Structure 1
């Protein structure tokens, strides 16, 4: 997936975060092209990432 990061230096961290999230939800994500993933698999990765970001934000509010 091509996305534009606001902070280019953050790309490696985002990629690592994405790989960790894929592992947690049981999706075999590989470096490079992942067009063979189903929409459900890709969505579960993104959903897990958002869930973790919201949790981290909420923890920061406490």
Structure 2
């Protein structure tokens, strides 16, 4: 399976969101390298990203 983005323009926004959530959570991220994170930390970060997206969708469609 290819890692090619369906919407290439969205990659920068996704990277920015990941960076913001990692910084807010105090997680170790250097130059978009998430290899020092534990699986629990990365899972938490993904959960936060989903929650943020839910909030944005609710605000948009309310």
TM-score of the pair, normalised by structure 2: 0.80
Aligned residue-pair number: 60
- CA distance in 1: counterparts of 2:30 and 2:54, whole angstroms: 25
Aligned CA-pair RMSD: 1.5
Structure 1 runs, 4 residues or longer, greater than 6 Å off: none
**Consecutive unaligned residues in structure 2, runs of 5 or more:** none
TM-score of the pair, normalised by structure 1: 0.80
Q: Aligned runs of 1:31-42 on 2, under 5 Å? A: 31-42=31-42
Q: Secondary structure at the match of 2:9?
A: helix
Contact 1:25 1:44 in 2 (8 A): no
**Consecutive unaligned residues in structure 1, runs of 5 or more:** none
- CA distance in 2: counterparts of 1:44 and 1:35, whole angstroms: 15
Contact 1:21 1:48 in 2 (8 A): yes
